[in-house]
Structure 1
């Protein structure tokens, strides 16, 4: 089938199926299960109204159960089992976790993830807040915001390819197409550097890609928060003789601290799941391994579903508290 026809058919069937489900479920509920007639009209109407929201929520709840809850429990099951030669599985308890904890690559991945957690959310939020504050003062601020936000429209793999060209190194004596090496040679560098193979520093070069992407997200959210600050408080601070830095750090930042925390934690969740950038640029080589890439290596390269699933549970355990905290703060902001 032609892709365009297939897409059109999917849309028609999807929309038609949703409309049909809601129409017929209402019809069955009101006509067959709780018909508004007889001596129990009020009770039937009340029961139908109590059941109706759950009837409408059922497709979403079913999708969440199939695509979210089931994979979590299945991954947990796989993490405590071992594949047998015949294709079955046998319960091994915590053996997969013990094997994972004994591997140096796991600790390297965990260490790198914590470094990413320290650097990327802080840098992205700081640059986003700075961009939000400065662009609001410019006549062409909307254009500047569009340019800063543009990387958000690029996939992580696309961004990795772009930055891999930035870090590209050609043999000594040839023209450098990598911007970083071109600048390095221009300012008197000895020879082109293989930036992505430099221990420790290569992790920061990878982090720069995610900071570049997430700064736009942070800027948009924080810009909206800054615009929501009452002008009266800023004007009162100016009248009292406060300078620009005092107004920013003592008046504006405290009033949007809740939004800053939400942005910070949202980026933190992205960082804990980072995979594409590392996979496309270094594939975890040269001490750049992260947890998601380690999980991928175990699941699809080593074909070790037990240890791979165990590492997936570690990622989920790290993400869950931050996710709960993020939801809590987001709800508090909306009150």
Structure 2
């Protein structure tokens, strides 16, 4: 069967299965389990109404258990057993081996750099773009252009920037925009930007900042539009400058939204893999935790250390995720 036909059959079966499940389960509930007839009709109707929401939740709960809970517990189990024998419990030996690996600490260092720079830069640039685009006549066009990178996959963006950073021999025409400009303004020889230690991490971060700035701009622009005009007008009457209005009036009122955007981008950064894999594959001191995990799992075949590194990533993401959910619930209240 061709891939397109297989995809159509899968979608049809999935949608048809959901429709059949909801129809048959409601039919069974109303006519067999709690029939709306007889002396207990009123009580049965109330019982059916109480049980009905669980019929809709059950498929989602089953999917979460199968695709989220089970992989987490299986990964934890693999991190505690021998790589060659799933029945041999080795305790924290895989974690100890991981902590003795210099590549792991390189990945941790780089992840910390990503966490310090990318969320801050993306949120700041997004806030700046949201403020400036609201003050110009063609702001909607500018917003569309800034948001456009969000429609590009991480791998696609990585390929684009890999071409921008491309370095060819000196006697060959440069296709990399950065080296072409560098030579145009007096550079002596093309530079392999992605092989420069430390700086190459910044060049990789620019890709994610370019993508996430549009996300931050859209959310923060909506927050800025929600600020009551009366507070801004009162500040203008009191003689406040545009900078004072922005930093002392607007920013404090959208602090909650700024924090949510910051933490959301932070979670994306902790899981970053595609950009590093497509551009450097972790070479030249650009390793990150997700790429380290991939190397251990699929290249070295070391399920123990690979699972241990996966658990480290999960433990780093979990507190931020819990805080984000709690903050969102607090905002809803």
For the aligned pair, the TM-score class normalised by the smaller chain equals over 0.9
Q: 1:31 — aligned with what?
A: 31
Q: CA deviation at 1:14?
A: 2.1
Question: Which runs of structure 2 are paired with 1:1-335 in the superposition (5 Å)?
Answer: 1-84=1-84, 88-335=86-333
Q: CA deviation at 1:198?
A: 0.6
Q: Distance in 2 between matches of 1:199 and 1:8?
A: 47
Q: Distance in 2 between matches of 1:4 and 1:108?
A: 42
Per-residue deviation, residues 96-128 of structure 1 (Å, max 9, x unmatched)? 000000101001100100110000000000000
Q: CA deviation at 1:47?
A: 1.8
1:259 and 1:333 in contact (8 A); partners too? no
Where 1:90 maps in the other structure, the secondary structure is strand
Number of equivalent positions: 333
Q: Distance in 1 between matches of 2:4 and 2:167?
A: 42
Structure 2 residue runs without a partner (length 5+): none
Q: CA deviation at 1:17?
A: 1.6
1:222 and 1:259 in contact (8 A); partners too? yes
Q: Distance in 2 between matches of 1:240 and 1:322?
A: 40
CA RMSD of aligned residues (A): 1.2
Q: TM-score if structure 1 supplies the norm length?
A: 0.96
Q: CA deviation at 1:88?
A: 4.5
1:109 and 1:290 in contact (8 A); partners too? yes
Q: Distance in 2 between matches of 1:219 and 1:326?
A: 19
Where 2:189 maps in the other structure, the secondary structure is coil
Q: Distance in 1 between matches of 2:187 and 2:244?
A: 41
Answer with 289-298 or 88-97: which moved more: 88-97
Where 1:173 maps in the other structure, the secondary structure is coil
Q: Distance in 1 between matches of 2:166 and 2:328?
A: 41
2:106 and 2:288 in contact (8 A); partners too? yes
Where 1:39 maps in the other structure, the secondary structure is coil
Q: Distance in 2 between matches of 1:134 and 1:283?
A: 37
Q: TM-score if structure 2 supplies the norm length?
A: 0.97
Answer with 89-98 or 301-310: which moved more: 89-98
Q: Distance in 2 between matches of 1:229 and 1:149?
A: 22
Answer with 113-122 or 16-25: which moved more: 16-25
1:167 and 1:179 in contact (8 A); partners too? yes
